[in-house]
Each structure stands twice: as C-alpha cells, then as structure tokens.
Amino acid sequence: MSVFVDAGTKLVVQGITGRDGSFHARQMMEYGTHVVAGVTPGKGGQRFEDTVPVFNTVADAIQETGANTSVIYVPARFAADAMYEAADAGMELIVCVTEGVPVLEMTKVIPYLRERGTRLIGPNCPGAISPGRSKVGIIPGDICREGHIGVVSRSGTLTYEIIHQLSRRGFGQTSCIGIGGDPIIGTNFIDCLAAFEADSDTKAIVMIGEIGGTDEQNAAQYVTDHVTKPVVGFIAGQTAPPGRRMGHAGAIISGSSGTAAEKMAAFDKAGIAVMKRPADVVPLLEERI
C-alpha cells in the first residue's frame, strides 16, 4: 500500500511547458508516473514529448483525462491562482513544488482548498513518492526502494539523505512525503502520521523536523496519543547559532519553543527514538522493528 500517491494517480502537470515543469515531467514519466496531461494557458492543443496532451485549463484536463492529482511548477506569483484553479476543477490532491509563495496568499488558499475537499502538499516542498508506484514532485526516484517504512519530512535535502540511508541498508519505503518548510502548509506532520498509522503496509515511521515553530512538538503529542507504530525522528539545525535565522521561512524560533533541544526533548518524551545524525536512522529502526 502507499500514502497519498499510488498506481492509481493520474497526474496533471501545471506549467509543463516551462523549464522546471518540463524537466520534472520527464523525470516523473521515466519513473512510471501516469502523467495524463499538462496545463499551460495559451498552449492548449500541443503535446508534450509527443504523447501528453497540453490543455489551457485544469478543468479541461480533468474532463478529457479523468486526472485526480496536480503538481504545480509555475512561478511564485502565479502559484496561488494555480492552486485555486485546480481546486475549483475538483482536483483531489495538489502538490505545489513552487517556493516563495507569499504567506499572506497561503492564509487564503488553505481554507479555500479545505472547503472544497482538496488536499494540498506544500508549497515549497519536494512532493511525494510511493516507490514502484508513483512519483509526484522532485524526490529522486533512484534512491527509493519499495518496503515498509513511511517517511515524512519538513526538509527537502534531508529527505533525500534519510531515504538513501534507508535504501542502501535494505529498508524500503511505502511512501515518502516532503511537506515543505514554509510557515503555512497544506499537509502537516500529523496528517502524515495519521495516514501512515492507518496504512497496514507501513511498519515504522521516520519523521524529519527542523528548528522553528511547534509543529514537531504537536506531532510528538499526536504520536503519544494515537500512533502505535515505532517512530524515529531527527531535528535539523541542532548546531544552529542562537538568534541566527536558518534556511526555511518556517525555521523561526520564538523564545525556546522552536529550538532543537526543545523539539528533541518532546520527541524523547513521546517515545520517539531521536537521531543525532542521519546515519543513525537504520540502527534505531533495527532496535525497534
């Protein structure tokens, strides 16, 4: 089984004729993702790679292909409109890879999508992959292996590092979800933990957080209350100098609530095995599975 994306994913690429959209559309197609359509306003009627029809609107793409998932590679100034359009068309899942989407825009987008029953992953995220089934976004498919570990991460690059550590030691994944590092995102740690807990094929969960905010503490409490499977966690930014803004816009520390030490303490209290470095993930899993 898998979480959020699977063999039944029928994907629309919004921005498929642009530089990033075309590059990653090819990568997803080569991986085996069922890319059924692209959307670029004004370029309807074209074909991408001679096989994928391009439409002017998401509504047209859904009507003609039955698409259920969209991935967005449009510039930040157009990303909110792209999300609105996909939700209005009835899209079930949107993955927004675009970074730099204004926070004020996202305060409006999130409730709009929720009212329409559309799940959003991102923005500013690497997307999702269910190894051997479907890849939506930019996670490298060649480092992933089919297996029984669920991965959820706020950090894109560390997602790849953890997946690589798992795969090379024989720990394949059911699904890997990069939720994004912005202050306001569509799908959070708790959403993914709940999905992995409900997935019978997922035997353990790896959660990768970072300094800033309180999402990791909230997730730790959720693990205490609702998760029965082993969870291994990592917090990026453990050596960040005090008062220094690091990386993602979400990595903003308020008082002591967003520090690595506070988050790691919350993990430990919840029974989450805490990695000191990414290479610790496999030994900690081996102790618990």
**Residues across the chain:** 289
Residue ranges of the chain that CATH labels 3.40.50.720: 10-121
C-alpha distance across the termini of the chain, in Å: 19
Question: Which pLDDT tens digits describe the chain residue by residue (289 residues)?
Answer: 689 999 999 999 999 999 999 999 999 999 999 999 999 999 999 999 999 999 999 999 999 999 999 999 999 999 999 999 999 999 999 999 999 999 999 999 999 999 999 999 999 999 999 999 999 999 999 999 999 999 999 988 899 999 999 999 999 999 999 999 999 999 999 999 999 999 999 999 999 999 888 999 999 999 999 999 999 999 987 766 665 555 554 445 445 557 888 999 999 999 999 999 999 999 999 999 9
Quickly count: other Cβ atoms within 10 Å of residue 113's Cβ: 20
pTM (2 decimals)?
0.94
Choosing from 24, 34, 226, 248, which is the catalytic residue? 248
Q: What does residue 280 show for φ and ψ, rounded to 5 degrees?
A: -80, -10
Alpha-carbon distance of 183 to 213, in angstroms, equals: 8
- Region(s) of the chain under CATH 3.40.50.261: 139-288
Instruction: Examine the residue annotation and report whether 24 is marked as an active-site residue of this protein.
Output: no
Phi first, then psi, for residue 145 (nearest 5°) are -135, 150
Find residue 115's DSSP bridge partners: none
Order of strands, sheet of 47-48, starting from the edge strand that comes earlier in the sequence: 47-48, 52-55, 34-39, 10-14, 69-72, 93-96, 119-121
Structure tokens at 47: 């074909």
Residues 236-260 have pLDDT tens digits of 877 666 655 555 544 454 455 578 8
**Superfamily for the 10-121 domain:** NAD(P)-binding Rossmann-like Domain (3.40.50.720)
Tokens encoding 160: 């790849």
Contacts of 100 (CB under 8 A, 6+ apart): 76, 124
Q: Which residues contact 60 (CB under 8 A, 6 or more apart)?
A: 44
For the stretch 89-131, pLDDT in tens is 999 999 999 999 999 999 999 999 999 999 999 999 999 999 9
Inter-residue long-range contacts of 111-119, CB under 8 Å, 24+ positions, other chains counted: 112/84, 112/87, 113/83, 113/87, 113/186, 116/87, 116/88, 116/90, 117/92, 118/86, 118/87, 118/91, 118/92, 118/93, 118/94, 119/4, 119/92, 119/93, 119/94, 119/186, 119/187
- Going by C-alpha positions, the residue among 250, 128, 97, 99 that lies closest to residue 181 is 250
Q: What is the pLDDT of residue 260?
A: 87
The alpha carbons of the chain give a radius of gyration, in whole angstroms, of 18
CATH code linked to domain 139-288 = 3.40.50.261
CA 47 to chain centre: 28
Q: Are 187 and 154 spatial neighbours (Cβ–Cβ below 8 Å)?
A: no
Q: Are 173 and 151 in contact (CB under 8 A)?
A: yes
Is residue 181 within 8 Å of 250, Cβ to Cβ? yes
